[in-house]
Structure 1
Amino acid sequence: MANVLTDLAADIYKAAEIVGRNVVGYIPSVMINAGSEAAAQGDTVRSFTTAEPTLNTSVTPSMTIPEGDDQTVSSKTLVLNSVANVQIPWTGEDIKHVNNGSGYETIYGHQIQRAFNKITNQIEASVAAEAYKNASRAVGTAGTTPFASNFDLVAEARQILVDNGMPVDDGELSLILSTTAGTKLRNLAQLQKANESGGDELLRQGVLLDLQGAMMKESAQAQSHTRGTAYGSSPAYLTDTAGLSPTTYAVGSTTIHLDTGAGTHVAGDVITFSGDSNNYVIGTGSASSGDKDIVLNGPGLRETLADGVTATIANSYTANVMLHRSAMELAMRPMAEPPGGDAAVDRMVVQDDHSGLVFMISVYKGYKKAMFDITTLYQAKAWNDEAIALVLG
């Protein structure tokens, strides 16, 4: 039965105007790699990264053109491991019953939009988790919603990216907030006053205006981080520089050895070292208690770190994330079909206007029954820790 979905497409888009959707902030803030070629679960998507170039401080005149300095271009990969699938079955009897009321097309359109919402929320949460766990450093107070009296933390998060050498003025910078933090920001009197904020969009429409060069967005999938059990450890963890020469961790170091204390460290924990005002984010923790290594996200230490310095873990927090679009990539692919295709009698690619994602809907015919299927493979990957900062909430 051909063109099953063509006849129903108008109802899918019409339903988008009615069905409630959760707010999405992370998906439109990262690079989307949504190739049309089918893939299998576990397939690899490749990207690249370039290294710092060699800086020459002098030039020697010559009739021979210099060879130039070799540059390294490294390959990075992500594996499509995640699947999102919604199946919507209908029997002829079901359709007959609902046509006596609201109508099959109306209900079907709403079902598809709710399926889009369910899948989008799952993907949004995946991007959010990948983002915050790969942040370079953090500002704010764990367990305290930011923007209670001012929006200074926006500038402080921006400074992290500036200090990391990341672009912040090209229109690709976003700060994605929890809805609680977004409400606090909306309540700031100076942003509600049209003469001070430069417009009345926030006051009249509730639209968050760009601040400090960052697009302000909200996400219903803002992640709550549960800190490791090393929080409040007594005795406290201390840094250990045994075997280092000189006996200090240099600026840029990421692997730090700890001893003395007790408890676990998990990815996303925020750690501080006595005498250093920076809040570092742990990329690789340790489930062991006592003597261990932890790995900080790039670019690593901002100051040298001596032996025997107290290392303190921050409390649990809600993650608000500032990032540059180039920091992360979301890869999506339709699932591969067997040679000659499967039992689907129709397929249609539909773009979700709310999230911008593209989904493939397939219809399968059975015995007095049909099923509509939405399936996608996806994976989020943070390529550049230095382009991500946390605002703790």
Structure 2
Amino acid sequence: MKKMFAFAVALAAMALSRATSAATTSAQAVQGFAAPAISKAVFCARVVRELAYGYIWNYAAKTGLVLGANNLTGLINTLYNAMDVVSREQIGMISAVSSDMTFARAAVGQTVTSPVAPPATATDIVPAVTPPDDGDQNIGNKGVTLTKARRVPIRWNGEEKLALDNSGNSYNIILRDQFAQAMRTLANEVESDLTALHVKASRAYGTPGTAPFGIANELNDTAGALRILEDNGAQGLDFQLVLGSAAMQNMRSKQSGLFKVNEAGREDMLRNGITDRLQNLALRQSSQIKRPAKGTAVAVTTNAAGYAVGATIITLAAAGTGAVVAGDVVSIAGDPENKYVVASGDADASNGGTITLAAPGLMQAIPAAATAITVANVGFRNLFFARSAIVLATRVPALPAQGDSAVDRTIITDPISGLSFEVSMYMQYRQVQYEIALVWGCGTAKDEHFGILLG
């Protein structure tokens, strides 16, 4: 009863203050005089008004009463607590790639391209009256398309919140967990899209069906990955290695040299299981490493033509059966050291079509004879690449110039992955809906600097 009385007094004081102030101002305006110093009565009324504002605001905060413009300020701590949960997810690809978190130039479905210069050709220097008439090049391009505009809604009505309060459950804890799950869902979708880019890789290393690092004290897998990057011209760049759980388990259980402080030089791996750089590769882990199906091609061979080093388009003989699909890893007879990734396949190998190998193409020439092509078995696609080889573009969803019906918005940035989520609040009839949203797209900028570690 006392609270209601105080509340009524505060409202009356506010009304009195505003009425007094308005009357004084109107009188001054009618008389045409400049406004003099305010009277003691007006000053006292304004003080009462400020005190009333403070009391009402505190009362509203304690009782859940909403006054004035709604905002998300009171949820900031809840949002950041939720982000702490999401930050512990295995989303190593997001932090490993090159990111543009302010990709505002493109709408969803549009592509932003960047130029790619072709390999240069050298010629002999021959003195002449005029310089050679050459030097023209066809400049290629690589594009990134914003393909996803995704949201996760969370809605509560007054009766639901009241039921929680009466049962002793904590509304804020449940809301925090809902935000955590929403951001986890979006982060995992982004991670999945990034690991799905394995079909754009140039070459592969390892044995499909066998997790890497399975032989104790042997680091052939990192050495092989590093060799491919260096052979493909990725020199002096920020190299990344993103592993699935099986590969990471082998790394932690069988590579004891990494755990010996006197050999490794630090105790992070031994004490805390923290992975760092190994042979110039930054080690990361992802729960979204793919294990795709393979093409059905059997007994496929090249035609009788020969193919030089660097060739990418290979014509098949009208033999064999089944399909070679994009993303397949293939081996070519007589070339045991190299495994190639198919950029474009052939739906029916028996028709004698063509397949396209990812750049830089053949590392060893194919002789002018029918040469067997074997599709690798199914296995996990752990990934190694230069950071600049893969691009992730993100932004918050676009709004019309007039805005929409949301009463407030804020942006929360995950300090681990770097993803910035937009959180919006929509006031509905006797209920409130929160929305966590993100727009993104991803692609490869340099396929030659991107490879697969089979497992």
Residue aligning to 2:154: 88
| Structure 1 residues 10 and 366: CA distance shift in structure 2, 3 A | same
* Conserved? CA contact 1:51–1:71, under 8 Å: yes
| Structure 1 residues 351 and 59: CA distance shift in structure 2, 3 A | farther
State yes or no: 1:198 paired with 2:265.
Answer: yes
Cα deviation, residue 12, structure 1? 1.1
**Residue 310 of structure 1 is aligned with which of 364, 372, 376?**
372
State yes or no: 1:351 paired with 2:403.
Answer: no
**Residue 158 of structure 1 is aligned with which of 205, 226, 234?**
226
| Structure 1 residues 273 and 190: CA distance shift in structure 2, 3 A | same
Letter in 1 for 2:223: A
Letter in 2 for 1:111: Q
Residue aligning to 1:25: 92
Cα deviation, residue 138, structure 1? 1.0
Question: In 2, distance between residues paired with 1:389 and 1:77?
Answer: 19
Cα deviation, residue 261, structure 1? 0.7
Cα deviation, residue 335, structure 1? 2.4
Question: In 2, distance between residues paired with 1:18 and 1:323?
Answer: 28
Question: In 1, distance between residues paired with 2:363 and 2:302?
Answer: 16
State yes or no: 1:248 paired with 2:289.
Answer: no
Residue aligning to 1:6: 73
Question: In 1, distance between residues paired with 2:274 and 2:430?
Answer: 49
Residue aligning to 1:296: 357
Residue aligning to 1:284: 344
| Structure 1 residues 66 and 258: CA distance shift in structure 2, 3 A | closer
State yes or no: 1:267 paired with 2:326.
Answer: yes
State yes or no: 1:379 paired with 2:379.
Answer: no
Question: In 2, distance between residues paired with 1:212 and 1:106?
Answer: 44
Question: In 2, distance between residues paired with 1:26 and 1:322?
Answer: 10
* Conserved? CA contact 1:252–1:300, under 8 Å: yes
Residue aligning to 1:143: 209
Question: In 2, distance between residues paired with 1:350 and 1:72?
Answer: 43
| Structure 1 residues 204 and 381: CA distance shift in structure 2, 3 A | same
More off after superposition, 79-88 vs 364-373: 79-88
Letter in 2 for 1:81: T
* Conserved? CA contact 1:24–1:219, under 8 Å: yes
Letter in 2 for 1:43: Q
Cα deviation, residue 59, structure 1? 10
Question: In 2, distance between residues paired with 1:122 and 1:115?
Answer: 11
Residue aligning to 1:237: 300
Query: Where in structure 2 are the equivalents of 1:166-205 lying within 5 Å?
Result: 166-167=234-235, 169-170=236-237, 172-187=238-253, 188-205=255-272
| Structure 1 residues 20 and 358: CA distance shift in structure 2, 3 A | closer
Cα deviation, residue 285, structure 1? 1.7
> The residue matched to 2:160 in structure 1 has which SS?
helix
Cα deviation, residue 84, structure 1? 2.4
> The residue matched to 2:399 in structure 1 has which SS?
coil
Richer in strand (by share): 1
Richer in helix (by share): 2
Letter in 2 for 1:89: R
> The residue matched to 2:316 in structure 1 has which SS?
strand
Letter in 2 for 1:300: G
Q: Which ranges in structure 2 are unaligned for 5 or more consecutive residues? A: 1-67
TM-score, scaled to structure 1: 0.89
| Structure 1 residues 36 and 256: CA distance shift in structure 2, 3 A | closer
* Conserved? CA contact 1:116–1:352, under 8 Å: no
TM-score, scaled to structure 2: 0.78
Residue aligning to 1:244: none
Cα deviation, residue 73, structure 1? 4.8
> The residue matched to 2:348 in structure 1 has which SS?
coil
Cα deviation, residue 58, structure 1? 5.2
> The residue matched to 1:363 in structure 2 has which SS?
strand
Letter in 2 for 1:348: T
Whose Rg is larger?
Answer: 2
State yes or no: 1:392 paired with 2:419.
Answer: no
Per-residue CA distance 1:182-239 (angstroms, 9 max, x = gap): 0100112221211122211111000113111010110011111211111xx2xx1110
Letter in 1 for 2:374: T
Question: In 1, distance between residues paired with 2:98 and 2:294?
Answer: 29
Structure with greater contact order relative to length (CA < 8 Å, sep ≥ 6) = 1
Per-residue CA distance 1:44-89 (angstroms, 9 max, x = gap): 22323233345576598x9x99999566654432222223221111
* Conserved? CA contact 2:242–2:383, under 8 Å: yes
Per-residue CA distance 1:242-291 (angstroms, 9 max, x = gap): xxxxx311211111122311111122211011001211011112322412
Kindly tell me the number of residue pairs found equivalent between the two proteins: 380
Residue aligning to 1:97: 163
| Structure 1 residues 218 and 154: CA distance shift in structure 2, 3 A | same
Letter in 2 for 1:264: A
Letter in 1 for 2:172: E
Question: In 1, distance between residues paired with 2:86 and 2:118?
Answer: 47
Question: In 2, distance between residues paired with 1:313 and 1:390?
Answer: 15
> The residue matched to 1:16 in structure 2 has which SS?
helix
Cα deviation, residue 348, structure 1? 0.6
Per-residue CA distance 1:275-330 (angstroms, 9 max, x = gap): 01211011112322412211111111111113300111110010111100111111
